[in-house]
Amino acid sequence: MAATTCIVLGIPVQEGAGRLGCDMGPSAFRTAGLVTELRNLGYAVEDRGNIVPAPQREVRHPNGAIKALPETVAWTEAITEAAYQASGDGMPIFIGGDHSLSAGSMTGLARRAAEEGRPFFVLWLDSHPDFHTLETTTSGNLHGVPMAYATGLKGFEGFFPSVANPLNPQNVCMIGIRSVDPAERAALSTVGVTVYDMRAIDENGVAPLLDAFLKRVAAADGILHVSLDVDFLDPGIAPGVGTTVPGGATFREAHLIMEMLHDSGLVRSIDLVELNPFLDERGRTALLMVDLVSSLMGRRVLDRPTQSYRHTPKAH
C-alpha cells in the first residue's frame, strides 16, 4: 500500500453539528502529526489544505427544526467535487469537521467507483447511523443525515445536490451503533444496511463481524471507504467530541479494526470526523485518531501473516 499517495483534505465544517468547535478539527489533526506519521510509514503525502464551501444559495425546507441548510448544501457541493477529483489521484483522507462532510465524500467517491465499474462499499464506525432525512430530523443538526442522503433516500430532492450514483444500502456495514432515533430505526429496518451495535460486539467480538464484511467487499472486487467518527470510541479514551455516548469501542477494539483493515488491502479512502478540539484534553483525542490511522495504514508491533481475503485488484 506504500506506493499509494495519500491526499489530505481539510474540511472545517461545523454547521452540521449541534455545537461549535469542529471547524478546528483539521488543524488539530495536522498538529497531532497526521502528515508526519503517514510519511514515516513510507507514503507520499499531498496536503491540499482546507476545502472551502461552494457559493451559498437560498434553500428553505418546511421542517423548521433544520439548521444551516444553505451552508451544509454549499459544503456538500464542494466536498463532492473535491472527493471525486482526489480519488482519481490517490487515497483521499478527509479530516473534519463534523459528519455532514460525509454527504459529500461518499457521493463523490461513489461517482468515481461507478466510473471504474466497481461496487462502492462503506464501513461506518459511529455511535449513530446518521440515517435521518430532512423530514425526520428533530434536532435539525444535519450531521445526522449523510448516510440517508448518500444511499438515495427520498426527501433530499430540490435541496441537496442530486445523487447520480446512490450507495447501495446493502453495501454498508455499521459497527459500534448505540444511539438510534425511532425514525432511523424504521428506515434501517427496510433497506438492508448491516448494523452491528455494541451488544453484537460484546457477544461476538469485533473480528468475526468485520471479517465477514471484508470478505464480501473482496468477493465483489469492491472499493471500500471507511468513515470514522470520534464518538465510535468510548468517551473515556476520546473525550474530544460533542456527541459523547457511553459504552463505545475500546482502545484495543479500535486498533484491531484498523489492523484488519490494513491487512485486507481494501481501503481506498477515509473520513475522520467530529473531532472537537475545544472539548479535548491536551490533544488526547486527536493523537488517538492519528494513532488509529497509522494502524490502518500499516504501523504494527509485530508482522502478521496476510489474511486470505487480501485484495488483489482485478484487471479492468
What residues are annotated to the active site? 99, 126, 128, 130, 143, 229, 231, 274
Do the annotations mark residue 128 as ligand-binding? yes
- SS3 of the chain: the string is CCCCEEEEEEECCCCCCCCCCHHHHHHHHHHCCHHHHHHHCCCEEEEEEECCCCCCCCCCCCCCCCCCHHHHHHHHHHHHHHHHHHHCCCEEEEEECCCCHHHHHHHHHHHHHHHHCCCEEEEEECCCCCCCCCCCCCCCCHHHCHHHHHCCCCCCCCCCCCCCCCCCHHHEEEEEECCCCHHHHHHHHHHCCEEEEHHHHHHHCHHHHHHHHHHHHHHCCCEEEEEEEHHHECCCCCCCCCCCCCCCECHHHHHHHHHHHHHHCCEEEEEEECCCHHHCCCCHHHHHHHHHHHHHCCCCCCCCCCCCCCCCCCCC
Is 311 annotated in some ligand binding site?
no
89 known ligand binder: no
Q: Known binder of ligand: residue 132?
A: no
Q: Is 231 annotated as a binding residue?
A: yes
Which residues belong to the annotated binding site for Mn(2+)? Answer: 99, 126, 128, 130, 229, 231
Which residues belong to the annotated binding site? Answer: 99, 126, 128, 130, 229, 231
